[in-house]
Amino acid sequence: MDKLGYCCINQTLRKSNIYTSRSLIRRTFSLHKASELALQNCKDLITILEWNKNNNINVFRIGSDLFPRITDKVCGYELDQLDSINDIKNLLAQAGKFAYDNNIIVSCHPGPYTVLGSENQEVIKASIKEILYHVSIGNMLRKDAQNLQFHINFHVGNKFSIESGERFCKNFYLLPLEAQKMVIIENDDKANCWSVSHLYDYIYKNTGIPITFDCHHSKFSRSQCILAIEEFHISKQTWSKKVLQEVHYSSSDNNNPKHSDYILEEIPEWLINDPDIYILLEAKEKELAVIDYRKKYLNIA
């Protein structure tokens, strides 16, 4: 399968100081320095995509820290305030063209503080700001370059809340249409939280937002009377036949939600052989885990 990928950091290139998450602490923050670091982050994104192509890895999640502290409540700024914004836009356009020309799928995952179902209006405003920041990255790469995928991220007493789902749906429609088209949602990794089935019933039916299937998370959040393959097929119904569905796969050393360094078992045939999906391996060793899996289970050197 040529649609296995990894997330955010290339361990091999990181040893050569090539990465996309250079940042600043608040005490030393300046727009000039943020511009310099963002420029270097974007240069290195191209290098990472080139490395991926040369190693036949066609799926990559772009990290959220290309622009240091851009949505920070103290240091936050607009892209056009950066000295190097024109050069940055050119670099991201190059990155997007390179990905498109080489059939590399790119996506992004706004962080855990993106909570559209919150009860707090300030949190909702910050979440919308975070989403719009990621939309701007997508637009600079290419209009249809990425999905923006995140969790509902709101629970009451460690249990999914129908009320938070209703707020999520309401606040989702506060987003511009171009942002709505990019959003996808993911099942949780804890019992009684947002399973694929819950997301289908309370979010998808009200918004049409596609559901990412995280196979490892499904083990913990789905009802015991539902099989993982059934949840996968529920999620698959939410995706347009015109696009590939995003799926996540990871392993755990101790049968808990934490990710292991590598993939410790074969991915089920009903996933690995499905032509309509791509799979992000959420393993700590990143691209090394992809290469290890291909060698061990797919006989690909």
pLDDT band, very low/low/confident/very high, at 146 (cuts 50, 70, 90): low
Q: What percent of the chain has pLDDT over 90?
A: 84
248-285 per-position pLDDT tens digit: 999 998 878 889 999 999 999 999 999 999 999 999 99
pLDDT at 89: 97
Out of 58-62, 105-109, 147-151, 166-170, pick the least confident: 147-151
- State which residues form the domain around 50: 4-297
Q: Which amino acid belongs to residue 106? A: V
Sign of CA dihedral 224, 217, 159, 175: negative
64-79 per-position pLDDT tens digit: 999 999 999 999 999 9
When mean pLDDT is compared over 101-105, 220-224, 254-258, the highest value belongs to: 101-105
- Chain-centre distance of CA 111, in angstroms? 9
- What is the number of domains present in the chain? 1
Average pLDDT over residues 195-211: 96
Q: Backbone dihedral region of 81: left (phi > 0), alpha (psi from -120 to 50 degrees) or beta?
A: alpha
Query: Phi and psi at residue 214, in whole multiples of 5°?
Result: -100, 110
pLDDT at residue 111 above 90?
no
Average pLDDT over residues 168-179: 95
Q: In this structure, what is the dihedral angle of CA atoms 93, 99, 102, 105, given to the nearest 10 degrees? A: -150
Contacts of 118 (CB under 8 A, 6+ apart): 124, 127, 154, 164, 167
Looking up residue 37, the CATH number of its domain turns out to be 3.20.20.150
Give the chain's mean pLDDT: 94
